[in-house]
Structure 1
């Protein structure tokens, strides 16, 4: 090998060493940039435990529904469901039924039992679907939702029957509030359920005092007993002197005390003189 070739070979070796050193000291791995981050086993379990909603459209509105099963009905607007193998207590959104079971209310409120029995009849041990709005839970940890039985939303059924009022309208969970208020207005016009008792359903709850006022008669009103008129048989005047003394003369036919023995001329007017 001549001197020129040796120098050329030496230059090539130096260039190769320079390139390799630059790649090693740069701290970058071209394979790392192309790699895809995979979730850990723990995060994979969390994803698997989260119910995956199915998208449906109803009246132009998209609904994301999750399959569930009702295990227990506590009252008209509160239930226990089984969802993805886990028990959850749910509270129906935007509706409120009278209390049938409440630590601060010893006796069931009017129409509470009707609402609870209706919910039990419709939902117990039934497969249902739930729809979450924006905020998932209330301060008690209950799952907030709209509940569907078949093609019907149970929240709306309660309003239609007059078993619930529109309540707890707290943004951002207000997706169906306008629709609910329209249904409630019809129930109010029909005066059914809770709307059959004047002033019972209020903006802030149910006023049991209104029920007591309606069920007890007002002291300011007295019921007048009908006065039965005396018949001819009940009043008898022996003669016109007795009729005049009683202030009944003249006595016309059909009046109490009239008798043919007093009406000598038979004109229907007795004791006219």
Structure 2
């Protein structure tokens, strides 16, 4: 009888210990999952922002939305991308890339979320906002991260995210990607197209150097030629068979944009 009691007691202790160990292990796993989610970093809480129907992309830093029953332009706050069709400046290097990048971020999106600062409009009557996708991706952050925009037009009182954006920009500058790959192209007043037209090849050799070009060209199992832009889903996992410096270059080579 004593032996039976002893065996029952031992079994109870073993089961209790295993249960406790499993609970601790599960708690640790939950903590790791939680920490991983925090480190994702590119998704933001948009619950307090306003949602509006998206009509289209005008430029890298300008959108069209439906606002109170009318079509309105939205200018992305605190950033500036090169022009694609300016009346006096014309098309600037990396302008088409920035526009295509914004279009890809918003591909198949029916709406966007706007976070307003203090002032809602600029002198051209355009809406001013920080723009997010329905997944919480901030368009300004992604443009800056990929070297397709500079921090600019910092006017009080709309300076809520200037420190955040300048931190993101510094990383792109250090990596010398996009607009930062060409010495003296970016200035405090905008972009200097003339540095690309210089006869001195040393001024733009970074732009022509494939090691500085980060648009990945890949041929899939069906033989389709697809190009992938930085920031797109699975970009890091794509094996680049060719690298392109611009969307135009990729499309001239017969590649089409990835769906996502």
TM-score in same-fold range (> 0.5): yes
Structure 2 segments unaligned to the other structure (5+ residues): 1-41, 204-260
Question: Pick from 193, 217, 225: which aligns with 1:208?
Answer: 193
Q: 1:130 to 1:162 in 2, by over 3 A?
A: same
State the aligned residue count. 160
Who is 2:128 aligned against? 144
Cα deviation, 1:38-95, whole Å, max 9, x if unaligned, reads: xxxxxxxxxxxxxxxxxxxx99999841101221111100110123433211100000
User: Cα RMSD between the aligned structures?
Assistant: 2.5
Measured after TM superposition, the shift of residue 210 of structure 1 is 2.1
Measured after TM superposition, the shift of residue 124 of structure 1 is 4.8
Question: Pick from 172, 179, 182: which aligns with 1:187?
Answer: 172
Counterpart of 1:152 in 2: which secondary structure?
Answer: coil
Q: For the pair shown, which has the larger CA radius of gyration, 1 or 2?
A: 1
Q: How does 1:113-128 map to 2 (within 5 A)?
A: 113-124=96-107, 126=109, 127-128=111-112
Does 1:165 pair with 2:139?
no
Answer 1 or 2: higher relative contact order, Cα 8 Å, separation at least 6. Answer: 2
Alpha-carbon separation, structure 2, partners of 1:156 and 1:180: 6
Question: Pick from 71, 85, 92: which aligns with 1:109?
Answer: 92
What's the TM-score once normalised by structure 2's chain length?
0.57
Contact kept? 2:52, 2:114, Cα under 8 Å: yes
Q: How does 1:68-107 map to 2 (within 5 A)?
A: 68-106=52-90
What's the TM-score once normalised by structure 1's chain length?
0.54
Q: 1:62 to 1:115 in 2, by over 3 A?
A: closer
Alpha-carbon separation, structure 2, partners of 1:214 and 1:191: 22
Counterpart of 2:198 in 1: which secondary structure?
Answer: helix
Contact kept? 1:71, 1:125, Cα under 8 Å: no
Cα deviation, 1:77-132, whole Å, max 9, x if unaligned, reads: 011012343321110000000000211123x1010000011111222552210011
Counterpart of 1:157 in 2: which secondary structure?
Answer: helix
Contact kept? 1:111, 1:163, Cα under 8 Å: yes
Cα deviation, 1:171-215, whole Å, max 9, x if unaligned, reads: 100000000000000000111100000110111100112222376
Q: How does 1:179-258 map to 2 (within 5 A)?
A: 179-213=164-198, 216=201
Q: 1:156 to 1:122 in 2, by over 3 A?
A: same
Alpha-carbon separation, structure 2, partners of 1:151 and 1:60: 5
Alpha-carbon separation, structure 1, partners of 2:171 and 2:142: 12
Counting helix residues as a fraction of each chain, which structure ranks higher?
Answer: 2
Cα deviation, 1:231-270, whole Å, max 9, x if unaligned, reads: xxxxxxxxxxxxxxxxxxxxxxxxxxxxxxxxxxxxxxxx
Q: 1:69 to 1:189 in 2, by over 3 A?
A: same
